[in-house]
Amino acid sequence: MRTINHYIAGASVESRTGRFGDVFDPNTGQVQARVGLADAGEVDAAVLAALKAQPAWAAVNPQRRARVMFAFKRLVEARMQELAELLSSEHGKVVADSKGDVQRGLEVVEFACGIPHALKGEYTEGAGPGIDVYSMRQPLGVVAGITPFNFPAMIPMWMFGVAIAVGNTFILKPSERDPSVPVRLGELFMEAGADVGIDVTGVLNVVHGDKAAVDAILEHPEISAVSFVGSSDIAHYVYRTGAAHGKRVQAMGGAKNHGIILPDADLDQAVKDIIGAAYGSAGERCMALPVTVPVGKGTAEALRGKLLAEIETLKVGLSSDPAAQYGPVVTAAHKAKIEGYIQTGVDEGAELVVDGRGFSLQGYEDGFFVGPTLFDKVTTDMKTYQDEIFGPVLQIVRADSFEEAVALPSKHQYGNGVAIFTRNGRAAREFAQKVNVGMVGINVPIPVPVAYHSFGGWKRSAFGDANQHGMEGLRFWTKVKTVTARWPEGDVADSAFVIPTMS
């Protein structure tokens, strides 16, 4: 059986812990590989490699670091199909979605290619008599990212693209459920350095593992900052533990994104958008749209009818099937969790309009498939509304007024993303101003900002005070040094320069 190794200091490194995790093919339900799980010693080996590399990498001028990022971008683009197929084989999302996964990560790499401009500091001439003040942004040192299974290409590149470009060296701890693409990215980064004649050995290291590896990263004294994406409970744990060990931490958690449908919306377009946002990638996205909120009974009935018609056309299939709109979920355990939530919704009294349980493909009966599921008349006291299901389950929560619709996402424990569908610019503007959520879409069902803006939710969707990528990401991965300088003329010292007093 194939074994997936760590990638440390530019080489494949076997785990010596004797602990392994199974990597499944979600289409068949069969184990296709095993991945070594690191202990604190193996994490330390990666940190030592990063520590050794960091001073020389930080000394490479920003323009030459950008050349490495450009070369990395070219290599990833050239291998897009290979990476997407590899990603789909372990995650289960269809290849088209996997290509989107890679592409959205590359967009942050593209932003990082402009790092010479982004790193420019501030300058004030004549701040005092003969005194100039200027600032510079410098790397933190060795930093780390802990990434989830649902975007094994995009989220790592969101993190290390900026972190490495500014001069840090990086430890990536990807999900052990789909670890092959992160290793491949590490190999391609090494190749990118060689292509432009810059030694990047130890700059990007990949260490696989479970909680033991996570804790080793959070507690390691030489790691200065940690970025995390995952569930909210673990995000809170990562934030508290990392901060307690003196680290800068950004920890992105779960979500329950709402789509508000006003009576004047283009309902046909909104339904197509909602179907893609709710069921694409089997709903395994923190920016999925699992809750739709029609305003008014007429809107609700029309929306329900159109959703049903679209759901009937959905094709669930193998991740390699170009005609499939979504594939299996990632593991048998996750499938069981989703189906458990569907039963909970029934028990709570929601109306199960479409039941996705029991779905199977001929010849792939052991695959981790869940059919599209639709609930109506869901209420805010239901556990299925309060929790993140992270599967192909769409819920209709009816609202009688615009104010009630705004209040639903605003009061929810999660505040990652929200969308409104309307032709009324004034209503959309008011919604964007009032809603208590970090990212807002106006007739955009998945409002993930472009790479030169930043990504981040509110409430239990994010812990820490810095968002990912864009200038927020650059600020997270750097520290500011401010210099106050004067150059006295001649050999005679001028008057002392001290903090002004009243005397």
Q: Using one digit for the tens of pLDDT, what is the confidence trace for 334-382?
A: 999 999 999 999 999 999 999 999 999 999 999 999 999 999 999 999 9
Choice among 109, 286, 338, 420 that is catalytic: 286
Mean pLDDT, residues 317-321 = 96
Q: pTM above 0.85?
A: yes
pLDDT tier for residue 1 given thresholds of 50, 70 and 90: confident
In this structure, of 76-85, 429-438, 448-457, the range with the lowest mean pLDDT score is 448-457
pLDDT tier for residue 489 given thresholds of 50, 70 and 90: confident
Query: Can you list the positions of beta strands (E) in 230-280?
Result: 248-252, 258-261
Q: Is residue 500 part of a domain?
A: no
Mean pLDDT, residues 75-95 = 98
What is the per-residue pLDDT for 204? Answer: 98
Residue 286 is a catalytic residue: yes
Residues 307 and 379 in one domain: yes
Report the C-alpha gap between 272 and 284 in whole angstroms: 18
Q: Is residue 448 part of a domain?
A: no
pLDDT tier for residue 183 given thresholds of 50, 70 and 90: very high
Question: pLDDT per residue over 265-279, tens digit each?
Answer: 999 999 999 999 999
Is residue 324 pLDDT above 90, yes or no?
yes
Give me the CATH number covering residue 110.
3.40.605.10
Residues 369 and 469 in one domain: no
Q: How far apart, in Å, do the first and last CA atoms of the chain sit?
A: 80
Q: Is residue 450 part of a domain?
A: no
Which range marks the domain in which residue 244 is found? 2-253+461-483
What is the per-residue pLDDT for 488? Answer: 81
What is the per-residue pLDDT for 21? Answer: 97
Which among 242, 203, 208 has a CA at the least distance from the CA of 43?
208
Helix (H, G, I), strand (E, B) or coil at 152: coil
Residues 323 and 243 in one domain: no
Burial of 440 (0-12, 13-18, 19+ CB in 10 A): middle
Report the C-alpha gap between 460 and 414 in whole angstroms: 5
Strands 2-4 and 417-421 turn out to be unpaired
With a pLDDT cut of 90, the percent of the chain lying above it is 94
What is the per-residue pLDDT for 441? Answer: 97
Q: Is residue 492 part of a domain?
A: no
pLDDT tier for residue 478 given thresholds of 50, 70 and 90: very high
Is residue 492 pLDDT above 60, yes or no?
no
Q: Is residue 401 part of a domain?
A: yes
Q: Which two tokens stand for residue 157?
A: 């590149």
What is the per-residue pLDDT for 491? Answer: 60
Phi, psi of 279 (to 5 degrees): -110, -15
pLDDT tier for residue 15 given thresholds of 50, 70 and 90: very high
Question: pLDDT per residue over 37-80, tens digit each?
Answer: 999 999 999 999 999 999 999 999 999 999 999 999 999 999 99
Q: Is residue 267 part of a domain?
A: yes
Mean pLDDT, residues 486-500 = 67
Query: Can you list the positions of beta strands (E) in 150-290?
Result: 169-173, 204-206, 223-229, 248-252, 258-261
Q: Is residue 447 part of a domain?
A: no
Mean pLDDT, residues 228-247 = 97
What is the per-residue pLDDT for 495? Answer: 60
Residues 32 and 110 in one domain: yes
92 and 328 Cβ atoms separated by less than 8 Å: yes
Residues 55 and 130 in one domain: yes
Residues 209 and 295 in one domain: no
Is residue 443 pLDDT above 90, yes or no?
yes
Report the C-alpha gap between 115 and 283 in whole angstroms: 34
Is residue 503 pLDDT above 60, yes or no?
no
What is the per-residue pLDDT for 388? Answer: 97
Residues 270 and 230 in one domain: no
> Mean pLDDT score of the chain, rounded to an integer?
96
Residues 299 and 176 in one domain: no
How far, CA to CA in Å, does 92 sit from each of 135, 319, 323? 47, 5, 14
Is residue 493 pLDDT above 70, yes or no?
no
Quote the number of domains for the chain. Answer: 2
In this structure, of 238-242, 257-261, 335-339, 462-466, the range with the lowest mean pLDDT score is 462-466
What is the per-residue pLDDT for 502? Answer: 60
Q: Is residue 67 part of a domain?
A: yes
Q: Where are the alpha helices (DSSP H) in 312-424?
A: 332-348, 383-386, 402-411
Give me the CATH number covering residue 408.
3.40.309.10
How far, CA to CA in Å, does 61 sit from each of 49, 76, 186, 407, 441? 21, 23, 21, 49, 38
Residues 213 and 286 in one domain: no
Residues 427 and 473 in one domain: no
Residues 188 and 50 in one domain: yes
Residues 244 and 366 in one domain: no
Exposed e or buried b per residue across 263-282, where buried means at least 16 C-beta atoms within 10 angstroms of its C-beta: eebebeebbebbbbbbbbbb
Q: How many CA atoms does the CB half-sphere of 363 hold within 13 Å?
A: 2
